[in-house]
Amino acid sequence: MSTVTPPAEAAAPSAGYRAVFRVREFRPVFAAHLLSVLGVVVAEISLTVLVYRATGSPLMSALTFALGFLPYALGGTLLAGTADRHPARRVLVGCDLLCAACAAAMALPGTPVALLLVLRCAMAFVAPLFQGTRSASLADILGSGDAFVLGRSLLRMVAQSAQLIGFGLGGLLLTVLAPRGAIALTAAGFLGSALLLRLGTAARPARAAGDRGTPLAGLRAVFGNRRLRALVLLFWLPPLFVVVPEALLAPYADGLGASTAVLGLLMCAPPVGTIAGELWAGSALTARTRSRIVAPLAVLAPLPLLVYALRPGPYAVLAALLLAGLAQAHTLGLDRWFVDAVPEELRGRAMTLLGTGLMTLQGVGMALAGLAAEFLPVHLVVAGAGALGAAVVLALLAALRAAGTGEGAPRSETGLTAK
C-alpha cells in the first residue's frame, strides 16, 4: 500500500518545518491558530468555573464541557458544504467573529447560565467548519504535497501542546482575573485571529460556488468512494481505542495508590509522545518513508496498551502511553494519502467531516470506556481496547489496500466524483 506521491518528491529529503514557516501566508494562519486554541482552552476553564459559582452544581459545571460534543457533530455535518461553497477567508473570518461575539456576550455581567450554555453550543457548532476550512485552505497556501503535511502537523502539535500548557495558563489567569475577565481575553483572542486571517491571507474564490447540494451531500460524496471511505475510517476509528487509557487514568492511578502528581505525569504522556513522534517524522523522514511507516505504526499504536493486562505500575504505564503517542507519527503519511484522494472541489467538506468524526468518536470512546469500566476491571478494559484497536486497524488497512491505487497512479484512479 502506498501513496500517490510523485516519485521525485517522495524520494527527496523533507524540507522540514522551517521551510513551512518561510511561506508568508502560513505564518498568520499559524499565529491565528495559536490564539484561537489558547482562547478556547481558557474559555472552557473560565466558563466551567463561572457556571459552578453561579449554580453550585457539579453537574451544570460538567455540562459546559459535555455540550461541546453534540453541537460539534451537528455543525460538522450540517455546515460541511459551506467550506466549499464560500471563499475560505470569508468563512474563517466569519467563524472567528461569531466566536468573539459569543465570548463577549459570556463576559457581560449578569448573563444567565442558560444563555452561557447556548453561547457555548454556538461556538462548538461552528468550530468544525472553521477547522475544516482552515485545513482545506492549507493546500491552497502550501500546496498539496509535503509542505501541506508538515503544516497540518504543526497545527496538530499546537492543539496537543494546549493540553500541556493551556489549562495551566487558564488556571494562572483565574488567580488574577475573574472568570468573566478571562473570557473577555478569549473574545480578544478570536478578534486577533480574525484580523490575522483577514490581513495575512489572500482572497481566493470558492472551490464549488455553484454547488447547492443538501447538507448530507458531502457526506455521501466522501463515503461513496471506497478508498476515501477507508481513509476516513482509518482516521476516525483508531483514536476511539487509543483514548481509552486517558479516560480511565484517574481510576487506574487510584487503584495503584498513585499520587496526584503521578496522575498528572501520566496524563501528560500521550500528548508528549504524540508531539515527539510528529516532530521526528516531520523533521527526519522523507515523504516516501512517512508513507511506508503508516501501516506498521498504525497497527502498533494501540499495542502498548496490552501491557495493562499485567496490571503494570506507573512507570510501565508511562512508557506504554509514550509509545502509543510516538506511534501517531503515522498520521503525517496518512494526511498525504487523504489529500491526494480528495478532489479539490470537495476538499473543504472532506476536511470538515474528517475533523468532526475524529472529535466526536474520541468523545464516544471515552464514554464507552467509562461504561465498560462499570462492569469490568479497568486494566482489562484498557488491554481489550488495545487488542480491538489493532484488529480494527488491520481490517481498515486491508480495505484500503483493496480500494487503493499504486504509487504514481493518476488522480483519476481514485474514482471520486462530487455528487
Integer Cα distance of 367 and 168 in angstroms: 25
**Which residues touch 343 (CB under 8 Å, ≥6 apart)?**
411, 414, 416, 417, 418
Average pLDDT of the segment spanning 113-127: 89
The answer on pLDDT for 1 being more than 60 is no
Most confident of 13-17, 51-55, 280-284, 346-350: 280-284
Pick from 373, 159, 364, 362: which is nearest to 250 by CA? 373
User: 324 near 304, Cβ under 8 Å?
Assistant: yes
The answer on pLDDT for 251 being more than 60 is yes
The answer on pLDDT for 66 being more than 80 is no
Please tell me the predicted confidence (pLDDT) of residue 345. Answer: 81
Q: What angle do CA 222, 225, 228 make, to 5 degrees?
A: 65
Integer Cα distance of 197 and 206 in angstroms: 16
Most confident of 15-19, 70-74, 315-319, 410-414: 315-319
Domains of the chain are 7-201+215-408 (1.20.1250.20)
pLDDT digits (tens, 9 = 90+) for 176-225: 778 888 889 889 999 999 999 999 999 999 887 666 556 666 677 778 88
The rounded mean pLDDT for the chain is 84
Please tell me the predicted confidence (pLDDT) of residue 412. Answer: 35
pLDDT category, 5, cuts 50, 70, 90?
A: very low
pLDDT digits (tens, 9 = 90+) for 276-294: 999 999 999 999 999 999 9
- Assigned C-alpha cell, 10: 517522495
Please tell me the predicted confidence (pLDDT) of residue 217. Answer: 67
The answer on pLDDT for 158 being more than 90 is no
pLDDT digits (tens, 9 = 90+) for 227-237: 899 999 999 99
User: 5 near 287, Cβ under 8 Å?
Assistant: yes
* DSSP for 210-277, written as a single string: T----TTHHHHHHHTSHHHHHHHHHHHHHHHHHTHHHHTHHHHHHHHT--HHHHHHHHHHHHHHHHHH
Average pLDDT of the segment spanning 345-371: 86
More confident residue, 46 or 410: 46
pLDDT category, 310, cuts 50, 70, 90?
A: very high
Pick from 210, 223, 207, 186: which is nearest to 99 by CA? 186
**Range in 64-78, 323-337, 399-413 with the lowest mean pLDDT:** 399-413
Average pLDDT of the segment spanning 367-375: 88
